[in-house]
Structure 1
Amino acid sequence: MQVFGSSGTRGVANEELTPAFVLRVAKAAGTAWGADRVAIARDTRYTGRMLADAASSGLASTGTDVDRIGVIPTPGAQFYAEREGIPVIVITASHNPPQYNGVKLVGRDGIELAVSDLEDIEDVLLAESATVAPWDETGRVQEIEGVRRAYVDELLEAADGETIADANLTVALDPGHGAGSLTSPEFFRELGCRVVTVNSQPDGHFPGRDPEPVPDNLEDLGQLVRATDADVGIAHDGDADRAIFYDENGEYIVGDAALAALAAAELEAGETTVSAVNVSQRLVDVVTEIGADLELTPIGSTNIITRIEELEANDERVPIAGEGNGGIFFPSFRLSRDGAFTAARFLELVADRPASEIVAPYDDYANVRFNIEYESTAERDAMIDAAANHAQESDAELNTRDGYRLDHGDAWVLARPSGTEPLVRIYAEARDATRAQELAEELYETVADAKADA
């Protein structure tokens, strides 16, 4: 695909992702879908309303009626899609920096579109073959109220509220000024938790921290956990489809450890989980111990969703799937990443024992990640070629499902281009922190040298 990556299409707003481009995407989607109604949602980004207006105009021009459901987490928009049986266009750049925005497309079943469906829309977009309705058959636009409240009610119904309430938990919450600011504080309070917050006012400039919930952006959350004697800290990204945790000591919990702990609680022998090619050994160990199966895909929610659907079509049960970035699926609830629901499932575990004990079995591995920016296709291609050459010269087992992953037995390292930003990402993991650092630095230097020579 030329336009849609691993999670929609994104770019710097008003530069790469312009209102004119969003209008074209919406016209292509409206044409390909052929739906009578389509909803439009957005996160809190400063440019969100501008781009939602463009999407609304594009849809209406194809004769499609438009439901404007406002600022809501992406999983809340997916809830609305499933409830109403209509597709949704979500204006969001998820975890990207404030200057970015994006377009994510959701089907009438509440699930992000599969690759084949995205390709259909992309074909219309690139061929400029969108249909336009006569002036008196253009779509009508209406504002829909109460969707956030209905989404919270659904979460409350799905969560084990009795177990969580009985534990009398204190939750420190950092929704990062994103869409979760408008739903997660309410949700956790109604679950019976005492909730203390930081960065909880919706603000598209993201003044307190950048939207990506990584340790460098979450120091305030760790401090809040310690200052309030909270049982757990929870952080979201900009559209609240992810959840990252801090333990009761205010220490960051690696996302892969949280995923492993949740998988250990969900999986049974003979079942299957799905993750991406940068999967942690933590999850591999859980799957092996339980006697379950692990399927790997290219990185990105679209790829994971597609594989889950294929497995379920063959009557294989997939109770949990996801990546170590906090984006986790519980398909029996909905085939979407939902930060609030993921956090509720983690709270069910915390109700039984401290968060630090929950993830203690999965603390044996050290992770390192580097990002290298590029400014041109030539730089990008030079870096990828360098990674390929490095991989071919290595004695490690090579996996090229998404980038170049080298498995050394005691450790692994991966280089791949980001699907959402102009970055080449390098990941490494080992039981020994020095070993992981060395592997990552070796590959980083190889790729960085290639960029410099491009």
Structure 2
Amino acid sequence: MNDRAGTPAHESDLIDVHELVAAYYKLVPDVSKPEQKVVFGTSGHRGSSLDAAFNETHIAAITQAIVEYRTGQGITGPLFVGRDTHGLSRPAETTALEVLTANGVRVLVDEYDDYVPTPALSHAIIAYNRAGHDDQADGIVITPSHNPPRDGGFKYNPPHGGPADSDATGWIANRANEIIAAGSHDVKRAEPTEVETYDFRGHYVDDLENIIDVEAIRRAGVRIGADPLGGASVHYWQLIGEKYGLDLTVVNPLVDPQWGFMTLDWDGKIRMDPSSPSAMASVLTHRDDFDVLTGNDADADRHGIVTPDGGLMNPNHYLAVAIQYLYTHRPQWRDDAAIGKTLVSSTMIDRVAESLGRRLWEVPVGFKWFVPGLIDGSVAFGGEESAGASFLRKDGTAWTTDKDGILLALLASEIIAVTGKTPSQLYSELTAQFGDPVYERVDAPASKEQKARLGKLNGSAITAETLAGHPITAKLSEAPGNGAAVGGVKVVTDVAWFAARPSGTEDVYKIYAESFEGPEHLTLVQAEAKAIVDAALGG
């Protein structure tokens, strides 16, 4: 934890936006260097122009690759394009539009030149493809999510509306690097004149009454404070309050690509993570002013829930409450609709699922795994421990197939309106019934070679028989829900578990751990987890 974590940013912490944008156009990446190549992680290509990792050359090549990919897939409908409030998002949007226009792609951008949250773009794709057109739509959302202000991000969402799978992103990244290495001669560009518009905000907000009981919220007079954290949801919250007559205050309507109003995250960086107590420190000063206070990150795919009685909720705690509430208050959902969770999310969700008589669908990290289930209704809720989730409409049909932080934030108000209790109170009731787990994620040093071995590690390579005094019941390198590779390992006992995964950006691996036997036992689990993993990696 950095000494300045949770304190206001200083002038010296802020980026020079002009320098950032100038570098976007000036620096030309060398894709023979790994750090300057196009690499799609779980949420698209991310990097900074200052590091020659997110530059005009990258975006032009990625967009050309997407054009070629969608042609190969027979995707001929409109392509929705949206951007968030990061300083590199507008330049990247301009580049992408030039390439799309030159290639004859029908493009739809925001009608009001507004920022577009990731869930609003997913919602638009699904709405178009549900309407029975002869063609199919897809989309590009330009965002590095909660990453620091110096970063840019570029993500492709195919016709299912959610994050593209690794087959698609792998092809797009390889083709983009190939284009750049050959001098970008295959990139077509033209002035973006033939661009249509779409009211992302209006369509999204108008449809909210079909997934959230906004009338219950209005009748109960729930006092809502919404902080967009300088992100793309800022005008959405304003319209939600106006349209549905809610007692809703946008706590901070300021948009600033430097994010100078933020408090620093745990490591001393500016990071718009609504689940981080350090990043949310200034928001928390308003906790007693509202019945519920919410935060979103820059593209509004993550949520933070603050209650007067509980403060900022741990994302795992809120997911468990949301699941308990939704599966008992959505009578039109299928009786066999499963509960989706990533395998590094809390075991509290497992216990809630069992009490509800619902099937648990446990998948690797990455929201893309929930997409098929959300589309066909076989999974009614999908959630990640990193404060990302989405769920089905009241009628059991798909809403978004990407994470929706606005939706999960509004759900907290519905829960208060309908139950008369805060999500924090409801979580206390769950702990009284199922136990009170302690959860934490820590990092451990690892070389690039060790990270590569960890990513391919098989559970059978772990020789330990016990973990923190309890017999090991499972050593997983594949997710129980879909058999997909975890990209690491998960070790389970009856009262605790840990999972280890390599970081995609730093020379560390992440240890997620949870214990139902208290903080001291969790510390023991973490220590043994590191020893177990290090032994499996050869020290």
Q: What interval of TM-score do these two structures reach, taking the shorter chain for normalisation?
A: 0.7 to 0.9
Aligned equivalent of 1:12, options 43, 48, 53: 48
Displacement of 1:335 in angstroms is 2.4
TM normalised by structure 2 equals 0.73
| Paired amino acid for 1:428 | A
Displacement of 1:134 in angstroms is 8.1
How large is the RMSD of aligned CA atoms in angstroms?
3.4
Could you tell me how far apart the structure 1 residues matched to 2:141 and 2:508 are? 23
Aligned equivalent of 1:47, options 80, 84, 88: 88
Determine if the alignment matches structure 1 residue 62 to structure 2 residue 103: yes
Could you tell me how far apart the structure 2 residues matched to 1:160 and 1:67 are? 30
Determine if the alignment matches structure 1 residue 81 to structure 2 residue 125: yes
- What SS is found at the alignment partner of 2:225? strand
Could you tell me how far apart the structure 1 residues matched to 2:386 and 2:106 are? 36
Q: Which has the higher helix share?
A: 1
Could you tell me how far apart the structure 2 residues matched to 1:131 and 1:64 are? 19
User: 1:429/1:66 Cα in 2 relative to 1: closer, same or farther (>3 Å)?
Assistant: same
Displacement of 1:246 in angstroms is 1.4
Alignment match, 1:440: 526
Determine if the alignment matches structure 1 residue 112 to structure 2 residue 163: yes
Displacement of 1:3 in angstroms is 3.0
Displacement of 1:244 in angstroms is 1.8
Alignment match, 1:377: 448
Determine if the alignment matches structure 1 residue 96 to structure 2 residue 162: no
Alignment match, 2:25: none
| Paired amino acid for 1:354 | K
Contact 2:390–2:407 (8 Å) recurs in 1: no
User: 1:194/1:90 Cα in 2 relative to 1: closer, same or farther (>3 Å)?
Assistant: same
Could you tell me how far apart the structure 2 residues matched to 1:126 and 1:134 are? 16
Alignment match, 1:358: 426
Alignment match, 1:323: 384
Could you tell me how far apart the structure 1 residues matched to 2:253 and 2:534 are? 38
Could you tell me how far apart the structure 2 residues matched to 1:166 and 1:135 are? 53
| Paired amino acid for 2:494 | G
Displacement of 1:54 in angstroms is 2.0
Displacement of 1:12 in angstroms is 2.5
Displacement of 1:253 in angstroms is 1.4
Alignment match, 2:509: 424
Equivalent pairs counted in the alignment come to: 444
Structure 1: tracts of 5 or more residues without a match: none
- What SS is found at the alignment partner of 1:336? coil
Determine if the alignment matches structure 1 residue 125 to structure 2 residue 165: no
Determine if the alignment matches structure 1 residue 413 to structure 2 residue 498: yes
- What SS is found at the alignment partner of 1:240? coil
Could you tell me how far apart the structure 1 residues matched to 2:380 and 2:533 are? 38
Aligned equivalent of 1:341, options 404, 407, 416: 407
Greater shift, 41-50 or 8-17, is seen at 8-17
User: 1:425/1:134 Cα in 2 relative to 1: closer, same or farther (>3 Å)?
Assistant: closer
Could you tell me how far apart the structure 2 residues matched to 1:368 and 1:321 are? 21
User: 1:185/1:435 Cα in 2 relative to 1: closer, same or farther (>3 Å)?
Assistant: farther
Determine if the alignment matches structure 1 residue 152 to structure 2 residue 205: yes
Greater shift, 9-18 or 163-172, is seen at 9-18
User: 1:362/1:253 Cα in 2 relative to 1: closer, same or farther (>3 Å)?
Assistant: farther
Displacement of 1:165 in angstroms is 0.3
Displacement of 1:345 in angstroms is 2.2
User: 1:135/1:75 Cα in 2 relative to 1: closer, same or farther (>3 Å)?
Assistant: closer
Could you tell me how far apart the structure 1 residues matched to 2:524 and 2:341 are? 25
Determine if the alignment matches structure 1 residue 23 to structure 2 residue 60: yes
Task: After superposition, give the CA deviation of every residue in 1:313-346 in whole Å (9 maximum; x if it has no partner).
Answer: xxx6322111122211213323232111222222
User: 1:378/1:126 Cα in 2 relative to 1: closer, same or farther (>3 Å)?
Assistant: same
- What SS is found at the alignment partner of 1:44? coil
Greater shift, 82-91 or 399-408, is seen at 82-91
Displacement of 1:113 in angstroms is 2.5
User: 1:131/1:187 Cα in 2 relative to 1: closer, same or farther (>3 Å)?
Assistant: farther
Could you tell me how far apart the structure 1 residues matched to 2:89 and 2:401 are? 25
User: 1:319/1:36 Cα in 2 relative to 1: closer, same or farther (>3 Å)?
Assistant: closer
Displacement of 1:389 in angstroms is 10
Displacement of 1:284 in angstroms is 0.2
